[in-house]
Structure 1
């Protein structure tokens, strides 16, 4: 159990409030012990009272009032203590949620292309932000129970020192069974995480709009549902089998602990017969013994719960302690150039983690400032991987990516990425307003409405945005109320507007017109140079209508550059590039 890490996490989430909670817990226990002591004194006085004694009346009255005051104070402290524990738990839950999302945001892209990362993320999310809070709550309850046990146990020890050890001895087996099966269930949970994720994937397909059209078009609903149900039944069967074994053992050990209770009762009964205990002790035993047994059971259950939640929280620490693979400059990052920017790839090769075959091999290309550079090739040629290297989402396995002659690994990664604006082929659709969709291109500066409208004009998005009653304040998509559904081509125009709105020097357009109609695509590329405002465009496409506007073209095949030159030069070569666009079935825009 990483209690030190958990306590550090709790302290970080709420500063000094943890100490206040502990202080109230200690005060609550102290007052509880005081009330028990006053009750014992009251019983002893009543047992030895002399009839019609004014002094006895006065003493009884004093102890009754004192015990009553102690009881009221105890209840008040207990109420405030419960509130403080609840507030502490809420702060911890919010802090853990924030830490999980912060780590998820800052991790390298490589993690999001790794199944093992999704296993780690699922376990962390399943552990829940509330578990650290439960651990602290459980720890506090254990402290309370320990303090209460000290108070009540001290009374039992005064009666007979063997009572408390006997109780503890009979309760320990149940605790060991619970700890053993908590670990066993956690090991099972870790082993079955991939299957849990698979069932969650089927559930997402069934219940969201991700595949709603195809599911209905191909009548896939029952098939997907049956796959989901089969996995859930397998997981349920395995989990119940473990729980059944735990229940059998726990029922036996619980029966043994109850036998222990009667052993203790028999023990004190024999002591009473022999006259070794007083009337006050017997009365106190009847009050303290059941409480001691309950407290010991609560402590055993608390330890078990603490252990179970702690091993779950380890999954959160597993996520938070993941290390980025992209290296940052060891010394002061190099300042970014202000003008005359040029990107160059020198002998760049790259192999994805866990892959055996390189995706890119010995790539050499130059992207000078103010030009339109195109990268062409069939699917799987390495175009998307090249984009990831240019955006520094990955670092090359060998070779260098240079900006004005400086290896981009010498720049701060976040600052460097501000120089790159990109419209990915699988661009995201944000269910925000049209204005916010565009503003996401440069959130570091205050929103500039005029600039956003100019970006929308350049991308062609202004036409449909202005047709909405709320125009730029219209929520895109039907995910939320009052949202406006738009076509995939209109979403793509919004993504283009976001790119144009950015301050980036290099704009990467990865199949950025794939969803546009022929007229929109032609209009964009016919005036692309004008829309760039002296910035550099990197066009990735397999459409001749897009590529022919480029100043220079690199043609990839099998992860290497096999041809390069202008469109006219490459067509004249009659090589792979020309073949791609002279075969009728490939030259027709899709």
Structure 2
């Protein structure tokens, strides 16, 4: 029995985890937190002072000597004193509420920023794991206002405890057993609330994937990306029924838990009320028997209900504190995700030469939680100033290769070198500044056209000429210059005055983004898949001129995109099957010749 109780207490204290919450709020707004504590203490003191001043005023009035000419002025003096304290209390409450609001805003901003900083510092593998999205969903559900609410609840509990101490001292003068009895009657309700807070938290964790799935379905039904297909294929009713099925299941389980909690609270609060009136009956019987004075019963009837309310407020505050802090643990769960430590690492400088060679040496890679390797014993050389092409069918491992080149993952075996040095020896951000990719699933930023291009190298000093030059090289300038505000035009339809364009035009902006950068190596992963044949031919026929003297890696299914490459690697099943020039590969028996030797309408 003792062990079970100890385990329950340990679980409660673990869930409560107040130290981390307090430190979080202190880091966000230390000064405002201290000020809010001071103001709540001042508010409590003024409240108790105003009650005491009214008591003195009543005592003075009851003992007044009406024949004394100075009595009126003396009474007025005490009235002014009591009024001043009451006004001070009202002012303190208003100021305290403002300070808490400011503090809450600062804490919310701090948590939002920390969530974003945590997200951008995590390795890419987290973003390819459902577990991460469960953690992120729970952290966002917890809300950025809960940590500050925990602190304010703690302060409210402290204030109520001070009030209880003041009022309870008077109850002790009547009968010492009354206050402990009252607390004992209220405790079952507190235990019930803590019990169901734990149950709700376990339910929340278990059903996070279900909640995320319903959110995903809701987004499908309301977002612009899927709007066309939902209407064309008549998916609206089907998806809505799936959504309703999940929500009904969630609602029913939630309501079932709420029903059990409500039933338990009805029983415990009824017990507390019975205890309250039992105490009143005890004092009343004592008065009849002569063991309690009339003065005691009058005092008791005035302060005892107030004590009962204060105890209930403390109990409610503790349960709210516990419930909110359980949610806050989800925020800490996100913050505690493993972030690769880099602070103590010593990096070497990147090669200063204008041209650098990037090389993969016997590289193998298996995704986290995967069994089979995606890439096996890959060796590719990307010499300075050369264009290298990589050809392969879907699932060959091309996109994974790009992630390794961008240092989004590290090889399990082998190494990647730049200028003969392992890329792990370079600072990650500095290394990535030398690689500028156009991903197959490129981002469409709902910002201005110029920002869509500048995002390729945001640290580069703003230059309208450089933006326009990159835009011309990618073919985007032809449509951007026709916008009413040209490069200042907002792209997409999410915001006011936004301009939506075709997927091919979005891809031209993505290409311009890569060309705008100062990177010495460009990577084009199916970067022209959405362009028409004429636009693609124009780009690649003058590709060397467009990229200047930089190196480039082109990944494509189209012969027209890769035939001008200096060297070509054929990737299949995660391994290099063939390599050579376009002419050499066309004259070999293999996948390359099968793909491109026969006339192909898309080439």
Pick the TM interval, shorter chain: over 0.9
Structure 2 counterpart of 1:88: 103
Matched position secondary structure for 2:360: strand
Which digits, 9 at most, give the CA deviation of each residue in 1:144-189, with x for residues without a partner?
A: 2222222222232233322221211111000000000001000000
In 1, Cα distance between equivalents of 2:225 and 2:347: 42
Alpha-carbon shift at residue 15 of structure 1 (Å): 2.5
Specify whether residues 407 and 8 from structure 1 end up closer, same or farther in structure 2 by C-alpha distance, changes over 3 A only: same
Is 2:166 the counterpart of 1:151? yes
Which digits, 9 at most, give the CA deviation of each residue in 1:95-121, with x for residues without a partner?
A: 111111111122111111001001001
In 1, Cα distance between equivalents of 2:356 and 2:133: 38
Structure 2 counterpart of 1:481: 496
Structure 2 counterpart of 1:433: 448
Alpha-carbon shift at residue 47 of structure 1 (Å): 5.7
Matched position secondary structure for 2:19: helix
Q: 2:287 touches 2:294 (CA, 8 Å); kept in 1?
A: no
In 2, Cα distance between equivalents of 1:146 and 1:56: 38
Structure 2 counterpart of 1:37: 52
Structure 2 counterpart of 1:562: 577
Is 2:359 the counterpart of 1:336? no
In 2, Cα distance between equivalents of 1:491 and 1:479: 15
In 1, Cα distance between equivalents of 2:343 and 2:291: 78
Q: 1:28 touches 1:78 (CA, 8 Å); kept in 2?
A: yes
* Residue correspondence of structure 1 range 375-524 to structure 2 within 5 A: 375-524=390-539
116-125 or 66-75, which moves further after superposition? Answer: 66-75
Which digits, 9 at most, give the CA deviation of each residue in 1:34-68, with x for residues without a partner?
A: 23333444455556667756798777555444333
* Residue correspondence of structure 1 range 43-54 to structure 2 within 5 A: 43-44=58-59, 52=67
Which digits, 9 at most, give the CA deviation of each residue in 1:71-97, with x for residues without a partner?
A: 222121112111111221111111111
Alpha-carbon shift at residue 488 of structure 1 (Å): 0.5
Alpha-carbon shift at residue 401 of structure 1 (Å): 0.8
Which digits, 9 at most, give the CA deviation of each residue in 1:105-140, with x for residues without a partner?
A: 221111110010010010111111111122122122
* Residue correspondence of structure 1 range 567-578 to structure 2 within 5 A: 567-578=582-593
Structure 1 counterpart of 2:5: none
In 1, Cα distance between equivalents of 2:134 and 2:333: 11
Is 2:313 the counterpart of 1:298? yes
Structure 2 counterpart of 1:20: 35
Matched position secondary structure for 1:30: helix
Residues matched between the structures, number? 587
Matched position secondary structure for 1:553: strand
Q: 2:415 touches 2:422 (CA, 8 Å); kept in 1?
A: yes
Matched position secondary structure for 2:587: helix
Matched position secondary structure for 2:165: helix
Which of residues 259, 264, 268 in structure 1 aligns to 2:274? 259
Is 2:590 the counterpart of 1:589? no
* Residue correspondence of structure 1 range 193-204 to structure 2 within 5 A: 193-204=208-219
In 2, Cα distance between equivalents of 1:62 and 1:13: 45
Q: 1:343 touches 1:404 (CA, 8 Å); kept in 2?
A: yes
Q: 1:337 touches 1:404 (CA, 8 Å); kept in 2?
A: yes
Alpha-carbon shift at residue 268 of structure 1 (Å): 2.8
Q: 1:376 touches 1:555 (CA, 8 Å); kept in 2?
A: yes
Which of residues 247, 264, 268 in structure 1 aligns to 2:262? 247
Matched position secondary structure for 1:453: helix
In 1, Cα distance between equivalents of 2:63 and 2:274: 35
17-26 or 58-67, which moves further after superposition? Answer: 58-67
Q: 1:431 touches 1:476 (CA, 8 Å); kept in 2?
A: yes
Matched position secondary structure for 2:443: coil
TM-score with structure 1 setting the length: 0.95
In 2, Cα distance between equivalents of 1:589 and 1:158: 97
Is 2:360 the counterpart of 1:358? no
In 2, Cα distance between equivalents of 1:328 and 1:244: 50
Structure 2 counterpart of 1:104: 119
Which of residues 547, 550, 554 in structure 2 aligns to 1:539? 554
Q: 1:424 touches 1:509 (CA, 8 Å); kept in 2?
A: yes
Alpha-carbon shift at residue 338 of structure 1 (Å): 1.3
545-554 or 85-94, which moves further after superposition? Answer: 85-94
In structure 1, stretches of 5+ residues that fail to align are none
Q: 1:47 touches 1:279 (CA, 8 Å); kept in 2?
A: no
In structure 2, stretches of 5+ residues that fail to align are 1-15
225-234 or 139-148, which moves further after superposition? Answer: 139-148
